[in-house]
Amino acid sequence: MARLVVLTEKGPYKLESGEETYYICMCGLSKKKPFCDGTHKKTKDEEEGKLYIYDQNSRVEVQP
């Protein structure tokens, strides 16, 4: 069964544990989940209220 999961965050969640700092992926695009790999930078120019689907190297806007 295929699912469409809508994620709205455009950056990682910063988690500090003692002297360690971790960045948790919140955009859903990281290849190192649950950790951020910087892929969220692709989302910085998304327009509010629009839905996008990401492929490995491209982004497509989905029409409602």
In a domain, 4, yes or no: no
Give the distance, in angstroms, between the CA of residue 10 and the centroid of all CA atoms in the same chain.
6
Q: Which domain holds residue 54?
A: 13-62
Residues with Cβ within 8 Å of residue 43, at least 6 apart in sequence: 10, 27, 29, 52
Among residues 29, 35, 34, the alpha carbon closest in space to that of 10 is found at 29
pLDDT digits over 2-61, tens only? Answer: 888 889 999 999 999 999 999 999 999 999 999 999 999 999 999 998 999 998 889 999
Residue 5 domain-assigned (yes or no)? no
Number of domains in the chain: 1
pLDDT attached to residue 22: 98
pLDDT computed for residue 60 by the predictor: 93
Any domain includes 18: yes
